[in-house]
Structure 1
């Protein structure tokens, strides 16, 4: 026992056999419990699914009754008894479970009976009538009728007219034997799907008292009590009111799974579904499991002893080589690849070790390259730990911008760095470090003052998930770029564009105003040179007034664009209602020109918050343009749908016509001031529409093709 081989053999056998024995015992107990749980769970699932099947049957019967009570003939309090009788016969013909129906008026008198045997009888004192008279459905518990001396089940439903008044009660009669036959047929179908269920399993239904109300053996129904047979109390039954449970019958040596039948509208009875299986059949797999474990343990023990004896001779050499290589690599030395010339386990360890060293070398190279890129980029990069808000990354761009050395920043709390570096504090106050559980990035722009100068930044804030992939946010990654020069160029470009637009607007305004003023000036000159005309004629007067009104219209449109109203009369608006009203205003014109109008309005369209007057102006203008584009025989479609844009809830309005359309040049200039293709247009209508939609926070896209019609696509936010 002084050799390493002998010691390894002894230790190997001890540390192998002892854990194997303990593991075998624990594994057997675990699998025994698991198998027991699965067997019992199978019973639970079986009983629970049977409970659902019972619920489906009850729900179907209640649904039959509810559908019959909603029959228009029955709901008509003026209907004749013969009409009700015909509807009853149709119902019985379509539902073979039922063989009779009665209709009872509010006073409790039977007025219609498919059998004609109880017409005129008064049933006002019956429980099912009183329950149904209060409104709704009623399904009684199964009880033994003293009249027919057999189990029966009463069903009833109120019948209400269109005003919601109870005008009567209907009660069907059905054959319980057919109902239970239907149930056992479903039970048989489900039993065939359960491989673990014994063929000798019994299925039954109990009431609140434990009496059998359904059983394959008809002699059990309302004659025997399950609680008495199993020596259980009523409390045991109450415990199954919320979930399935097991009851063991020691005398009968059986196991029963009990599951409650769910209550529903019209059914409030305490019913339970039970499945009873012989106990020796339920737990028979456990005995087979024990013998399998004994055989498995014997085989594994024999193999383990043999393997320990053979492998102990080869284990020391390859392991020592592996340990030496690992130690050298840990010290930073270059380790040559290990040869795989031992047995498979050590060969696999050697290959794994070689792969590990190669990947670590590659990772080190990638890390150095990433660090070089991080330091060389013009973008600023900062990472902050979410837990303690310490700065973990701070590249060269950040050093130059904030005047802080990386050595004085990394690993330090955020508030300390803000105290020591005012420039960094001015920058970081614009960043919101929140716990983003959805790992969503935020991108935004902001301005801040650094070293006396105003800088503009474009920043991306990205929560970095933990490397352990547990869904936690580990760091906040801030990547930013200075865009100060770009913003200055954009401002200069915007100023140039504004001056250009002002020039075009002024030229167009002067041109539009000059035309009517020239007309007025011509008439005034004519009147001056012709004093004998006797004053301004009515014809000339109307022309002058028309031209003056044209000037006033141009000036008003221009003022609307240049100085929009600031008083906002906003409210939650129904766009479907506004569009319907607007289309109604054009109905006479569309009918006259044989133009069809199609409305595809989403009935569940959400209301939007906006100004009704301005939106009406937009829709009036667009629909008017669509009508004018159709001289004769055409179609206009107005469609509304719900659509989200960039995580914002909104609605979409499309106005489509199949008129003359627009060419590329017209489409390009669309919305420009004073640009119009109409003889009497001002060129300000569509420009006003674009401005109103933009003020509402929406957008309007136009697509058109000459000869194929036009489409105006509007998107408006809900809020």
Structure 2
């Protein structure tokens, strides 16, 4: 029964609907329960805070009363008689009925006047309030049991100063604790009529100092009864939290101390816990009724939904089975809900793409088989050949089945020799990224050049045994032969150009020498001695041209390589050319790299190149100008820029700069720049040229520092 889609859909839909509904119901109930609880507790805390405010106001009023009495002129007058003082105290008690007694105490602590009790002559200097009042402060005691009157009392004491500002006496009014209890009872209970409760006050020692049941005042200790401590009460008051104690919920607040009142008083508004949380029972019943009804409705709806969903799925299954056996007929579906319609379209797209992929695979296979490039693939783990195209079969004379990378049969000796060339086998087995290499394969008395590209083809993640490497190689033998022939042709062209330039350069001096000899021969006389110097100059000129040409064609190797400070070399070059620049009215500027870069080179060859470039720059500024030389570093390379403000060069001239015998100067040989280019090239460097006709030229030498 539960193997069908309908039954599973119905069962699981009920479960996944009911379980979230139950969870939501529980969460919702708990949330509302918490809200109701928080609301009730906040109400208790607010009532406790209100009660706290009222008690603070009550204490403040008592301080004002004591201050008022202390400022009475008769009380302040040290010459007042006992009768006058008694009349003032009696008048104070008649106006402020909250007080039951007023004592006058001298600065030594002796009671000098007592209206109702026979306390005159008693010394109160050992009371906790005496030292504070002696220092000029108004002080209220904590509620305590007085042995003098054998009852709980709460006293105020205030200093009285005479006309000279000296402490004359102290007034000590005592008030009835009934007034404090009345305030507690009036604001006690619950402000909300839903609850019944009460309020009491506890001091820092745990003694109950105010309670609706007056018999408990100073006779019971809150800490002993509940096991709680002063720190716990302070924490409840500080964090505005309620406490649950012996089936009751208590909202605790602390009366803030102020000068003259430094006692820990805690106001506790108390409500029975069952009474406070009674509304939660009705909430639970309502939730049970609502969710039972919803569950029955959902069960009926899910049953109908399961029947609606199964029909199009069954049709799609039948269509997929037909596609699996190769049916390509047009697929028809009954229009249903959007999701199943999208699924039907996705299935159609998948079937179409699978067919296209199959056709593409056939095309790829055809291309691999018909290409002239060799293509094969190797499994790095097993060494098995997994792909072997027509070119490989023809070149190596073997089929894929006859070859593995690790071991080959006699029919595949050519392949074994091929992969051993230039250690291609190791490259294949260790390939982790795309690699390109050139192979010169000597086999059967013939050398062929191939370019091989090795690229890993990883398998599925975690399937190490399926990792493969694809190797594609193609024959470059004919291309390399053509390049050799082209290079040979270029060399012959250069030789021709150099020969023509050489012939042109030595023709003029030879013509001069021939003229002198022919003149002597025709005149049948010796050569005029005045012409000997000219002949020797022309011969030296020919010798110089031959010497420079030999240096270009077969330069001396770089010798004496040392670490060269390029800044020092540039300064030496400027020093050598300083007089020359001055004579040509040329200003110069050296902008040297402050890091003092060095490079490894033959300093003499380097100076030869730099002097040549500087000399050319000077000759380019026929009417004076400015020369700027800069040195800088670019990563691991050194750049030297030589910039002039001379006549500049055209694009055609720049292209011919390194050509032997090419020159734009009337007396130049055209070999200086050729030699400089050759030296820089042997140093592994390059030369860049930027020039604008009529504005100047910049040569930039870039040399490796190591």
Q: TM-score, normalised by structure 2?
A: 0.54
Q: In the alignment, what sits opposite 2:493?
A: 500
1:406–1:520 distance in 2 versus 1, CA, 3 Å: same
Contact 1:423 1:451 in 2 (8 A): no
Give the distance between the partners of 2:22 and 2:554, measured in 1 at CA: 89
Q: How does 1:510-525 map to 2 (within 5 A)?
A: 510-520=503-513, 522-523=515-516
Q: In the alignment, what sits opposite 2:608?
A: 617
**For this pair of structures, how many residues does the alignment match?**
448
Give the distance between the partners of 2:464 and 2:590, measured in 1 at CA: 48
Give the distance between the partners of 2:564 and 2:299, measured in 1 at CA: 85
Q: In the alignment, what sits opposite 1:657?
A: 644
Contact 1:527 1:536 in 2 (8 A): no
Q: Over alpha carbons, which structure has the higher Rg? A: 2
Give the distance between the partners of 2:465 and 2:646, measured in 1 at CA: 58
Give structure 1 stretches of 5+ with no counterpart. 29-248, 256-290
Give the distance between the partners of 2:462 and 2:645, measured in 1 at CA: 56
Q: In the alignment, what sits opposite 1:480?
A: 473
Give structure 2 stretches of 5+ with no counterpart. 29-231, 240-283
1:343–1:400 distance in 2 versus 1, CA, 3 Å: same
Contact 1:16 1:304 in 2 (8 A): no
Q: In the alignment, what sits opposite 1:694?
A: 681
Give the distance between the partners of 1:470 and 1:632, measured in 2 at CA: 78
Q: In the alignment, what sits opposite 1:636?
A: 627
Give the distance between the partners of 2:623 and 2:343, measured in 1 at CA: 86
Give the distance between the partners of 1:421 and 1:378, measured in 2 at CA: 20
1:605–1:478 distance in 2 versus 1, CA, 3 Å: farther
Give the distance between the partners of 2:589 and 2:341, measured in 1 at CA: 77
Task: Give the secondary-structure state (helix, strand or coil) at the position aligned to 2:447.
Answer: strand
Q: In the alignment, what sits opposite 2:165?
A: none
Q: In the alignment, what sits opposite 1:676?
A: 663
Contact 1:338 1:350 in 2 (8 A): no
1:464–1:670 distance in 2 versus 1, CA, 3 Å: farther
Q: Tell me if 1:394 matches 2:385.
A: no
Shift of 1:496: 2.5
Q: In the alignment, what sits opposite 2:11?
A: 11
Q: Tell me if 1:579 matches 2:573.
A: no
Contact 2:520 2:527 in 1 (8 A): no
Shift of 1:582: 2.3
Task: Give the secondary-structure state (helix, strand or coil) at the position aligned to 1:619.
Answer: helix
1:2–1:699 distance in 2 versus 1, CA, 3 Å: closer
1:320–1:672 distance in 2 versus 1, CA, 3 Å: same
Task: Give the secondary-structure state (helix, strand or coil) at the position aligned to 1:460.
Answer: strand
Q: Tell me if 1:377 matches 2:377.
A: no
Q: Deviation per CA, 1:528-572, whole angstroms, max 9, x where unpaired? A: 8899999845xx555444334323322221221122223543344
1:495–1:5 distance in 2 versus 1, CA, 3 Å: closer
Shift of 1:662: 2.8
Task: Give the secondary-structure state (helix, strand or coil) at the position aligned to 2:307.
Answer: coil
Contact 2:440 2:448 in 1 (8 A): yes
Give the distance between the partners of 1:595 and 1:377, measured in 2 at CA: 66
Contact 2:567 2:592 in 1 (8 A): yes
Shift of 1:389: 4.8
Pick one of 429, 439, 448 that aligns with 1:446.
439
Q: Deviation per CA, 1:197-230, whole angstroms, max 9, x where unpaired? A: xxxxxxxxxxxxxxxxxxxxxxxxxxxxxxxxxx
Task: Give the secondary-structure state (helix, strand or coil) at the position aligned to 1:415.
Answer: coil
Q: TM-score, normalised by structure 1?
A: 0.53
Contact 1:653 1:713 in 2 (8 A): yes
Contact 2:517 2:527 in 1 (8 A): no
Give the distance between the partners of 1:639 and 1:307, measured in 2 at CA: 87
Q: Tell me if 1:552 matches 2:543.
A: yes
Contact 1:383 1:391 in 2 (8 A): yes
Give the distance between the partners of 2:683 and 2:402, measured in 1 at CA: 49
Task: Give the secondary-structure state (helix, strand or coil) at the position aligned to 1:631.
Answer: coil
Give the distance between the partners of 2:543 and 2:565, measured in 1 at CA: 33
Contact 1:574 1:606 in 2 (8 A): yes
Shift of 1:480: 2.7
Contact 2:373 2:473 in 1 (8 A): yes
Give the distance between the partners of 1:393 and 1:565, measured in 2 at CA: 54
Give the distance between the partners of 1:705 and 1:637, measured in 2 at CA: 16
RMSD: 4.6
Shift of 1:424: 2.5
Shift of 1:433: 3.8
1:337–1:604 distance in 2 versus 1, CA, 3 Å: farther
Give the distance between the partners of 2:235 and 2:431, measured in 1 at CA: 61
Q: Tell me if 1:415 matches 2:406.
A: yes
Q: How does 1:525-536 map to 2 (within 5 A)?
A: 536=529
